[in-house]
Amino acid sequence: MWTRQHKQRNTGRLIVPTLCAAFLAYFGFHAYHGEYGINSKYQLQARTAELQGQLDAVKAQRIELERRVQLLHDGTLEKDMLDEQARRALADGSPTNGGGHPGKVVGEAFVELQNGIAAFDARGIVLRDLESGLIDFPSLRDGREVYLCWIGGEADISFWHELDAGYAGRQPL
């Protein structure tokens, strides 16, 4: 009776470590780069800082616009009446030549303010309240579209709400 000797192969010893390495590499990659990974948090924080800078610029433009309109009129300026008073200043500045210098100053301020707000709109970000800095920007949460909610002065984006819920429906992330 003949017995056949089998030569030991080294490939069997490598299967389990190779599978473990592939498993760890896959989940490690997605833990860093995935939708809820470490890198996405850093990107969200960078986006928050960038939005805070844009919001501060738009607020500064609004304050400058309020100051310019205040210089044109005696009395106090109500924030709700800003648009109406500025339009009146444009019309009353010099009705015969299209506005004159006072109207030009207010018009330029309006253009700057509109450009600042349009920068938010161009990125799909919804500026809800300029005074408080309430900003919503679209995101996906569990496969459905929601708004991430942030108010100027908050350190991080910590809340979200449904598209139709508004500020009252804010929930922690």
119 burial (CB, 10 Å; 0-12 / 13-18 / 19+) is middle
Residues of the chain with pLDDT under 70: 1, 6, 68-106
User: Residue 143 has what pLDDT?
Assistant: 82
pTM for the structure as a whole: 0.42
Alpha helices in 36-137 (DSSP H): 38-72, 82-93, 100-122
pLDDT tens-digit map of 51-64? 888 888 888 888 87
74 burial (CB, 10 Å; 0-12 / 13-18 / 19+) is exposed
User: Residue 69 has what pLDDT?
Assistant: 63
Q: How many CA atoms, within 13 angstroms, populate the side-chain half-sphere of residue 171?
A: 9
Residue type, 49: A
User: Residue 96 has what pLDDT?
Assistant: 53
Closest-CA residue to 31 (of 23, 19, 18): 23
In the three-class reduction of DSSP (H, G, I as helix; E, B as strand; rest coil), residue 134 is classed as strand
Cα distances from 155 to residues 5, 50, 151, 159, in angstroms, run 70, 13, 9, 12
